[in-house]
Amino acid sequence: MANELALKYGCNPNQKPSRIFMADGSDLPITVLNGKPGYINFLDAFNSWQLVMELTAATGLPAAASFKHVSPAGAAVAVPMSDTLKKIYFVDDLELSPLATAYARARGADRMSSYGDFIALSEVCDVPTALMIKREVSDGVIAPGYTDEALEILKSKRKGSYNIIQMDESYRPDPVEHKQCFGITFEQGRNELKIDADLLKNMVTDNKELPDFAVRDLLISLITLKYTQSNSVCYAKDGQAIGIGAGQQSRIHCTRLAGNKADIWWLRQHPKVLALPFKEDIRRPDRDNTIDVYISEEWEDVVAGDNWKFAFTSQPEPLTREEKKQWLAQLTDVSLGSDAFFPFGDNIERARKSGVKYVAQPGGSIRDDNVIETCNKYGMAMAFTGIRLFHH
């Protein structure tokens, strides 16, 4: 290990010089085993590492995250998957260890956003996880370690240039952190708030029932939000985030963005999508892009221009608006976390359309009564956590 590591450039090629270093003179808590990670790679690596370690601490399960531009595209723990999920995540042909299952879920939540991601793993990377990573488009991975065989698999990725970082699990940062903006240094205490089930005890709705799976999913959503650029909202189901809305100035826009992603995640499981007649040699990213268009209103333009021939052996039947509506009505038991209070009941109205039944948010709005009333109207259970999770 060394005290500093010179980087090629900062966020952009014109931002030089660039490095990461320890201001106290100690060694960096990382070892670069392969590749040359950049400035943004390290920002993604260190944020996603904290996320997966907190997920494992909260659930006792292996965790993984898929990060892009300092926000998670997906985060998950190792909950067994259905055959349908394995198919839409393109892992039905792979052996799945618990850690590989966690990454398959994290990557599969929003595969388009995960394209070119940075990966975080809470456990030593094993061969099944390495084989999955090898065939996806990704910038790098951070983990507490790698088996010898897994490391060799990953080193062969991207013509030998794949970024592989090993993190020192014993590293604990200083409780006070600093950053600069416009030459001015900011100082604050690190956000070391522990997120656990105790935060969900203040149930403010008529429905006060939180089954174990909802507690798990709400914790996943809240921990994910802790490392998502604010404003942010996260929908979670079955041990994984299914829709993350990051960096929006308006709370309702967060809720809509994340809800739309959750809807796409669910629509990918529609029988018509599962039966799409893809050509055998079509690449997974092209499948992802094509499925996204097939689900959207843009499909009519594709059909009109015969562009479907690029991906399919025959023209698929359209997924009608009514079919989408009927399928989305079957999405249930979704959990929703918010990094700050909901100012209006319209967020709950939108969340309900994506199957949300359980909500966790700080509370504290002058319109809390309206938000609670809206939840009660639909039989939702909502907890006021009393804590804000802004991340900038």
Could you tell me the pLDDT band of residue 302, with boundaries at 50, 70 and 90?
confident
Annotated active-site residue 69? The verdict is yes
Please report the pLDDT score of residue 1 as a whole number: 66
| Angle subtended by helix axes 148-155 and 127-134, to nearest 10 | 10
Section 29-45 average pLDDT: 98
Annotated active-site residue 289? The verdict is no
Q: For the chain, what is the mean pLDDT?
A: 96
Could you tell me the pLDDT band of residue 303, with boundaries at 50, 70 and 90?
confident
Q: What angle do CA 109, 259, 242 make, to 5 degrees?
A: 20
Cα dihedral across residues 272, 65, 221, 347: positive or negative: negative
Task: Choose, from 163, 231, 261, 270, the residue flagged as catalytic.
Answer: 231
Section 196-205 average pLDDT: 98
Q: Are strands 71-77 and 117-121 parallel, antiparallel or unpaired?
A: unpaired
Section 229-237 average pLDDT: 97
Distance from C-alpha of 233 to C-alpha of 250, rounded to nearest angstrom = 11
Cis ω for the linkage preceding 17 (within 30 of 0): yes
Task: Choose, from 34, 41, 47, 68, the residue flagged as catalytic.
Answer: 68
Task: Choose, from 69, 134, 324, 353, the residue flagged as catalytic.
Answer: 69
The answer on pLDDT for 305 being more than 90 is no
Mean pLDDT is lowest, of 132-141, 226-235, 295-304, 348-357, for: 295-304
Gyration radius of the chain over CA positions: 21
Please report the pLDDT score of residue 307 as a whole number: 86
Q: For the segment 121-172, what is each residue's pLDDT rounded down to a tens digit? A: 999 999 999 999 999 999 999 999 999 999 999 999 999 999 999 999 999 9
Three-class SS string for the chain? Answer: CCCEEEECCCCCCCCCCEEEECCCCCCCCEEEEECCCCHHHHHHHHHHHHHHHHHHHHHCCCEEEEEECCEEEEEEECCCCCHHHHHHCCCCCCCCCHHHHHHHHHHHCCCCCCCCEEEEECCCECHHHHHHHHCCCEEEEEECCECHHHHHHHHCHHHHCCEEEEECCCCCCCCEEEEEECCEEEEEECCCCCCCHHHHCCECCCCCCCCHHHHHHHHHHHHHHHCCCCCEEEEEECCEEEEEEECCCCHHHHHHHHHHHHHHHHHCCCHHHHCCCECCCCCHHHHHHHHHHHHCCCHHHHHHCCHHHHCECCCCCCCCHHHHHHHHCCCCCEEEEECCCCCCCHHHHHHHCCCEEEEEECCCCCCHHHHHHHHHHCCCEEEECCCCCCCC
The answer on pLDDT for 381 being more than 90 is yes
Please report the pLDDT score of residue 125 as a whole number: 98
Annotated active-site residue 270? The verdict is no
Distance from C-alpha of 306 to C-alpha of 131, rounded to nearest angstrom = 36
Tell me the sheet residues that pair with 244: 234
Section 202-225 average pLDDT: 98
Could you tell me the pLDDT band of residue 348, with boundaries at 50, 70 and 90?
very high
Q: For the segment 79-110, what is each residue's pLDDT rounded down to a tens digit? A: 999 999 999 999 999 999 999 999 999 999 99
Annotated active-site residue 231? The verdict is yes
CB distance 75 to 241 below 8 Å: yes
